[in-house]
Structure 1
Amino acid sequence: MRQVPVEQLADTIIVKSPQSFRLVAPFFIVIILDAIGFGIIAPLLAPLVAQASHVLWGAHASSYVIHILYGLILAAFPISYMIGAPILGALSDYLGRKQVLFFCLVGVLIGFICYVLSFSLASISLLILGRVLAGFTSGSQGVAQAAMADISLASKDKAINIGMIAVAMTLGLVLGPLVGGELSNPKWISWFSLTTPFYFVILLSIFNLFILLIWVKSDNNISHQAVLPHLTQHWQNFIALFKSTKICLLLVVFFFFELGWSLYYQSLALFLAEQFHFQAQTIGLFLTYVGIILSFGLIAIVRLAVNYLKLKTVIFIALLIGVISLIAVYGFHLFIGQCLLVIPVTFAVALIYTSLITLVSNLVAKDQQGLLMGTTDGLLALAFAITGFLAGWLAYFNINLPFLVAGCFWLVALIIVRIIYGLMS
């Protein structure tokens, strides 16, 4: 779920030897798994919302109830991730990376088994349980990143490994919808069905468990200090972070920005299913296209913009373009228009995210950088949880309405940015 600045995406990835590959590979796959787990469900589930009679929803479910359930299913993953990430991160400092990652991979495995059973038994409860389990244990993303930092012997190695983290996140963002759409397509192989993508992730989880046990050594330098005082200190540092008015306002901007982006992204699958009657395969390809355009924006467009413009100018212009584009998405009903409007929206996301994070980071002390990144990650997860529900609920009233509301979120962010710049001047 986490997005990453362009500086990380643009790092050259070099695996210098088979030994270094064996060290990094288990953590690399964990991060890909987390990203796939988030994005795999929407292409499969959205077409079923348009088929109100599908057995998954029950015999007497109304259209309103189906849209609410769809929103709850989307929201279950990010809200569980938000809860799990700090807990698993703290436990990994105390118990060791390998032990916590093993627990997380087992949790992901059980979560995806619940996915399979939910479709086989037509059980919404099992599907939501699977989303909760997969979301909570996807908090392992931070643990995997910490483990990759642990094995970096020099700053150059760390830069390379951070680059690999960014590549893994991007691969997961692109592969999640693609796996969901293509592995459920019986045109490729006759026995492919809605559950086939989940079997693929289950096999990938088992493979990752195997190489984790074989290739990763247990931690020798585990800190056995009490966890409670450690967390208490983190809470005090967190409160101190919000004493700066500028930081508070920029984090509010970040939250409204993420509300707009996440509502747009999470509404796309249902919009394509209900507006154009697309099936899982086409929806998966479209969301993959969104991921590719976003990746290009992070790699190329951001570097181009920051070389010629100040960060605050980049944020203001990108938000303005984003608001106009989202309003256009709301009013434009042709598919070709949606394909074209993805470009300014995702480029705006790349520009706003990296510029905002950099701007806030410049206002924070060096020893608070980790806390800041954890805070923004929590805000991102909260935004995706809120808008996961909104994506289903708002679509019941009007399938285009989520895009208009997303534009309003960005408009609020734009107004706050203007206020901040007034304070800075």
Structure 2
Amino acid sequence: MPEDQSTKISIFPIMMVNFIGTLGLSLVLPFLVFLVERFGGNALIYGILASMYPAFQLVGAPLLGKWSDVYGRKKILFFSQAGTLASWLIFMFALLIPVVSVLDVSSNSLGKFTITIPLILLFVARAFDGLTGGNVSVANAYVADITSEEDRSKNFGRMSVSMNLGFIAGPALAGLLSVTIYGELLPVLAAVIISFIGTVLIALFLQESKECIQSFNNKKNNVKKLLAYEFGNCNESGKGPQPKLKDALKLDHIPFMLVVYFLVFLGFNMFYTAFPVHAIDNLKWSVADMGIYFSVLSLMLVVVEGPVLSYVSRFFSDARLAIFGAVVLASNFVLLSYSDFYLTYLAAVLFAIGNGFMWPSMQSILSRLAGREHQGVVQGVSASFTGIASIIGLIGGGFLYEMLGSGTFFVAATMVYLAFILSFRFLSFETKK
């Protein structure tokens, strides 16, 4: 890609895609745990349902990331967004059919729950969205394509801002729509409409970020072509084959970065499973309380990842911001364990500062290490690592909460504190430039 291409393509359309995708997801976030219980599930089933997306993304994201290197980012983003639209249609159908019991379970270790037809459809919807859910990794590769080195951290911060704006608007909109006589149906219908708008936006307004799209040798096996195991000669120099997955993993420091990603997401997802149940059991929160909390948290994230990060990044490197953010983020989980209303909101402040500094900085470091040629495949592999961590964290968080209650947040904090210790190695990456 020519050096000046970053000045020709605006980041705004991909930010809108990011916002729309998050808005659709966050619409159901405040009431999903209540919906699972209504359909017969318990906290464990909620954790397993939440893990369906990352579990199937584990399969889909690396493939879609690799395809984006081959066919271009725009085509794969369109395919991924269309899959999200289809998944919300399945989700909406689950709300419209009768609750029919398939299996009753009563166990000392698993608890009591009932498998119902609508609950099964929720699992199908989340699984299908995960399978086609390469939009985050491909969007990150897109941003790396169009961004110069000096603007990399700032633009990843902007992507995080667009995501968190979706998390502000989604819960608030869900709260307004769910109080009608239609209950959860209107928020889900809104998610369908929003996903459709996202699909149209990609088709009509998003420019392709890669000038050089790989072409296949027609003599190659069709299955290998489909899975992108065979590449044509198309890279930065126009000569030689594109790197494969195993080649990307051999890049300097990439495996180490993936380990840190894994620990951070492990802690994150223990929190995401435990907190809604903790809020209901210990804080006695309602759907509205949950929606307000997530909206406030996301608003603070927007402030931190927008003007605050843009300012402090002038004075501190990505490595230092990531280190500082990690220790603050871990400390937020410790405060959550005290089950106090005011400490919970103080924890939200720490969450916003820690995540707002750490995550865009880590994304910037990873994209810099990947280089131009490896963006799609490296972002896809990172999505797989975070997917594995999400599966373990979401399901493990449910089990841990049954055993430890609020003590689960100490386990989550431990994971991120480990990432904090390891992140000091990021400083050596800067000295070796």
5 Å-filtered alignment, 1:321-340, equals 321-330=328-337, 332-340=338-346
Q: Is contact 1:294–1:347 with CA below 8 Å preserved after alignment? A: yes
Q: Is contact 2:325–2:356 with CA below 8 Å preserved after alignment? A: no
Deviations 1:237-295 (A, max 9, x none): 22312xx4x55444423321232233324433232222223222221221121112122
Name the counterpart of 2:177.
183
1:276 to 283, 305, 317: 283
Name the counterpart of 1:35.
22
Name the counterpart of 1:7.
none
- Take 1:222 and 1:369, find their aligned partners in 2: how far apart are those partners? 13
Give 3-state SS (helix, strand or coil) of 1:233's partner: coil
- Take 2:178 and 2:70, find their aligned partners in 1: how far apart are those partners? 41
Q: CA offset at residue 390 of structure 1? A: 2.8
| Distance 1:418-1:288 versus aligned 2 partners, 3 A rule | same
Q: Is contact 2:19–2:166 with CA below 8 Å preserved after alignment? A: yes
1:407 to 403, 410, 413: 413
Give 3-state SS (helix, strand or coil) of 1:299's partner: helix
Deviations 1:112-138 (A, max 9, x none): 122122233332110010111222233
Partner amino acid, structure 2, of 1:114: I
Query: Is the aligned partner of 1:233 residue 2:243?
Result: yes
Q: Is contact 2:68–2:138 with CA below 8 Å preserved after alignment? A: yes
| Distance 1:107-1:252 versus aligned 2 partners, 3 A rule | closer
Query: Is the aligned partner of 1:195 residue 2:185?
Result: yes
- Take 2:418 and 2:142, find their aligned partners in 1: how far apart are those partners? 38
Partner amino acid, structure 2, of 1:184: S
Query: Is the aligned partner of 1:296 residue 2:303?
Result: yes
Name the counterpart of 1:9.
none
Deviations 1:199-244 (A, max 9, x none): 0121223344556666679999864314222398321322312xx4
Deviations 1:52-83 (A, max 9, x none): 5x3x01xxx6xxxx222101111111232343
- Take 1:312 and 1:160, find their aligned partners in 2: how far apart are those partners? 14
Name the counterpart of 2:215.
224
- Take 1:364 and 1:85, find their aligned partners in 2: how far apart are those partners? 17
- Take 1:24 and 1:420, find their aligned partners in 2: how far apart are those partners? 29
| Distance 1:267-1:40 versus aligned 2 partners, 3 A rule | farther
Q: Is contact 1:82–1:139 with CA below 8 Å preserved after alignment? A: no
Q: CA offset at residue 338 of structure 1? A: 0.3
| Distance 1:294-1:263 versus aligned 2 partners, 3 A rule | farther
Q: Is contact 1:107–1:134 with CA below 8 Å preserved after alignment? A: yes
Which moved further from structure 2: 376-385 or 219-228?
219-228
Q: CA offset at residue 102 of structure 1? A: 4.9
Q: Is contact 1:44–1:181 with CA below 8 Å preserved after alignment? A: no
Partner amino acid, structure 1, of 2:271: Y
Q: Is contact 1:185–1:281 with CA below 8 Å preserved after alignment? A: no
Name the counterpart of 2:260.
253
1:67 to 37, 43, 57: 43
Deviations 1:15-68 (A, max 9, x none): x9xxx99x975x55543343234433331122356xx5x3x01xxx6xxxx222
Structure with bigger helix share is 1
CA-based RMSD of the aligned residues comes to 4.4
Query: Is the aligned partner of 1:80 residue 2:56?
Result: yes
Give 3-state SS (helix, strand or coil) of 2:229's partner: helix
- Take 2:144 and 2:377, find their aligned partners in 1: how far apart are those partners? 16
Q: CA offset at residue 347 of structure 1? A: 0.9
Q: Is contact 1:40–1:176 with CA below 8 Å preserved after alignment? A: yes
Which moved further from structure 2: 177-186 or 355-364?
355-364
| Distance 1:344-1:158 versus aligned 2 partners, 3 A rule | closer
Partner amino acid, structure 2, of 1:400: S
Partner amino acid, structure 2, of 1:39: S
Q: CA offset at residue 161 of structure 1? A: 9.0
Q: Is contact 1:109–1:206 with CA below 8 Å preserved after alignment? A: yes
Q: Is contact 2:65–2:377 with CA below 8 Å preserved after alignment? A: no
- Take 1:48 and 1:383, find their aligned partners in 2: how far apart are those partners? 25
Aligned identity (percent) is 20
5 Å-filtered alignment, 1:36-185, equals 36-48=23-35, 54=38, 56-57=39-40, 66-92=42-68, 100-121=76-97, 122=99, 123-143=118-138, 165=159, 167-185=161-179
Partner amino acid, structure 2, of 1:173: F
Give 3-state SS (helix, strand or coil) of 1:228's partner: coil
- Take 2:416 and 2:380, find their aligned partners in 1: how far apart are those partners? 22
Name the counterpart of 2:219.
none
- Take 1:125 and 1:386, find their aligned partners in 2: how far apart are those partners? 21
Q: Is contact 1:274–1:399 with CA below 8 Å preserved after alignment? A: no
Name the counterpart of 2:220.
none
| Distance 1:233-1:149 versus aligned 2 partners, 3 A rule | closer
Partner amino acid, structure 2, of 1:260: G
Q: Is contact 2:53–2:126 with CA below 8 Å preserved after alignment? A: yes
Which moved further from structure 2: 367-376 or 390-399?
367-376
- Gapped runs of 5+ residues in structure 2? 1-6, 100-117, 217-224, 232-240
Name the counterpart of 2:235.
none
Partner amino acid, structure 2, of 1:224: S
TM-score, normalization by structure 2: 0.72
Q: CA offset at residue 146 of structure 1? A: 6.5
Deviations 1:346-371 (A, max 9, x none): 21122222444455566665645555
Which moved further from structure 2: 357-366 or 198-207?
357-366
- Take 1:134 and 1:174, find their aligned partners in 2: how far apart are those partners? 22
- Take 1:370 and 1:109, find their aligned partners in 2: how far apart are those partners? 23
| Distance 1:158-1:224 versus aligned 2 partners, 3 A rule | farther
Which moved further from structure 2: 403-412 or 378-387?
378-387
